[in-house]
């Protein structure tokens, strides 16, 4: 297990204990006035069962990752509702509504929880389009790039979302489409079963569609994933280069899970650096190093903008640029929150999105 994933799982286990505690205390505060033996047994069984699901998953005894992730997220959302109820209670207790505040809170808690869940699902399946305009320091005729990362195609995200993606790219009249990694959600099982190829192949642009593989594409199925992408008309760049009509150069890096991946500087050795150079690198963890190289544009994903608050706080600590756009030196760096999602079909504090980047030369 990679160090960053180990840290995330450790943080999840620690957070889980706190979230279960908050959940059970809220129930006893609002709904269970007297702590009976049956309620104490319920609390104990809740701790044991939820922790068992996580431990069985972490140690690969019985994979229940999605179930565990869903439970963790619901407990997190319930803690937000608990916080809201606490604030409302403090505001009401000194007013004429103080006596009735418990009645209000017993309704507010489930309603606010359902609202948060509904909002998070909406954010996961309702993409927004974000526009950027940049100018390079090299000659280049106007170019419009459509960029979508982290599709995580699988059981919960598939044909409908691919059709929506192709519709948006067509509507935006993009010249080229870049997909910097995590195209599939670990394997191609659902992709094949639901015939997603016919939907992915609708993704077209005058200068082509180019992809590189992310960490979820490098879990033992990278050859099958690459083959399926090529069948859909997508050019897969695996530590290699594409010269686009002598206008600009595309470089696609393998994810760092690929132990033999080349350094970006090595990939640049055979490139005509007089042309603008665009880099697809799934993870944004080498942006500062790349700012010293002759790279005009880098597009990345991976961080999902944390996907669910307060995950964005963690990603800000992990990466120099975890989301958005930043010009460093002569390079322009873009990190998207992604078009799909990982684990659970929910986003809070982030939203499914597509970047449209309008580029012009000097």
Q: Which two tokens stand for residue 132?
A: 């950027």
How far are the Cα atoms of 44, 77, 79, 115, 277 from residue 110, in angstroms, in the given order? 23, 11, 11, 9, 52
How far are the Cα atoms of 174, 285, 316, 345, 357 from residue 130, in angstroms, in the given order? 13, 22, 20, 21, 8
Say if residues 149 and 338 touch (Cβ distance below 8 Å): yes
**32 contacts: CB under 8 Å, gap ≥ 6:** 39
The Cα–Cα gap between 340 and 152 comes to: 6
- DSSP annotation of 348: B
Q: Which two tokens stand for residue 284?
A: 């944004």
CA 283 to chain CA mean position, Å: 11
CA 307 to chain CA mean position, Å: 5
Q: Of 59, 51, 47, whose CA–CA distance to 6 is shortest? A: 59
The Cα–Cα gap between 172 and 146 comes to: 8
Half-sphere exposure of 179 (CA within 13 A, CB side): 33
Say if residues 323 and 315 touch (Cβ distance below 8 Å): yes
Domain locations in the chain?
A: 3-123, 128-360
| Fold (CATH) for 128-360 | Purple Acid Phosphatase; chain A, domain 2 (3.60.21)
Q: Which two tokens stand for residue 9?
A: 């799982």
The Cα–Cα gap between 290 and 267 comes to: 12
Q: Which two tokens stand for residue 116?
A: 């948060």
The Cα–Cα gap between 303 and 2 comes to: 15
Question: Over its length of 362 residues, how does the chain's per-residue pLDDT go in tens digits?
Answer: 556 667 777 787 888 999 999 999 999 988 887 778 888 899 999 999 999 988 887 777 767 788 888 999 999 999 999 999 999 988 888 777 666 777 889 999 999 999 999 999 999 999 999 999 999 999 999 999 999 999 999 999 999 999 999 999 999 999 999 999 999 998 899 999 999 999 999 999 999 999 999 999 998 899 999 999 999 999 999 999 999 999 999 999 999 999 899 999 999 999 999 999 999 999 999 999 999 999 999 999 999 999 999 999 989 999 999 999 999 999 999 999 999 999 999 999 999 999 999 999 98
The Cα–Cα gap between 308 and 62 comes to: 25
Host H or E run for residue 62: none
């Amino acid at each position: 297990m990679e160090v960053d994933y180990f840290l995330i799982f450790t943080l999840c286990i620690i957070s889980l204990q706190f979230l279960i505690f908050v959940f059970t205390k809220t129930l006893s505060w609002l709904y269970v006035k007297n702590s009976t033996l049956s309620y104490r047994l319920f609390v104990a069984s809740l701790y044991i069962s939820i922790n068992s699901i996580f431990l069985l998953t972490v140690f690969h005894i019985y994979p229940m990752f999605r179930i565990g992730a869903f439970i963790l997220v619901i407990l997190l959302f319930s803690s937000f509702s608990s916080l809201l109820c606490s604030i409302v209670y403090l505001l009401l207790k000194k007013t004429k509504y103080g006596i009735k505040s418990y009645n209000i809170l017993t309704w507010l808690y489930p309603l606010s929880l359902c609202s948060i869940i509904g909002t998070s699902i909406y954010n996961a399946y309702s993409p927004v389009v974000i526009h950027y305009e940049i100018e390079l320091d090299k000659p280049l005729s106007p170019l419009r790039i459509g960029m979508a990362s982290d599709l995580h195609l699988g059981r919960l995200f598939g044909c409908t979302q691919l059709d929506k993606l192709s519709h948006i790219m067509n509507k935006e009249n993009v010249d080229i489409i870049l997909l910097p990694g995590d195209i599939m959600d670990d394997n191609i099982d659902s992709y094949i079963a639901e015939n997603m190829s016919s939907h992915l192949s609708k993704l077209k642009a005058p200068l082509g569609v180019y992809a590189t593989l992310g960490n979820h594409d490098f879990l033992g199925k990278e050859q099958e994933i690459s083959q399926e992408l090529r069948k859909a008309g997508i050019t897969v760049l695996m530590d290699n280069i594409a010269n686009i009509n002598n206008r600009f150069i595309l470089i696609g890096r393998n994810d760092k899970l690929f132990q033999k991946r080349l350094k970006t500087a090595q990939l640049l050795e055979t490139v005509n650096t007089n042309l603008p150079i665009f880099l697809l690198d799934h993870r944004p963890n080498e942006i500062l190093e790349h700012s010293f190289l002759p790279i005009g544009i880098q597009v990345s994903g991976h961080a999902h903008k944390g996907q669910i608050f307060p995950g964005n706080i963690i990603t800000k600590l992990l990466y120099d640029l975890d989301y958005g756009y930043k010009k460093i030196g002569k390079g322009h760096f873009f990190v998207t929150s992604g078009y799909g999602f990982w684990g659970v079909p929910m986003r809070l504090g982030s939203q499914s999105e597509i970047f449209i980047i309008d580029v012009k030369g000097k």
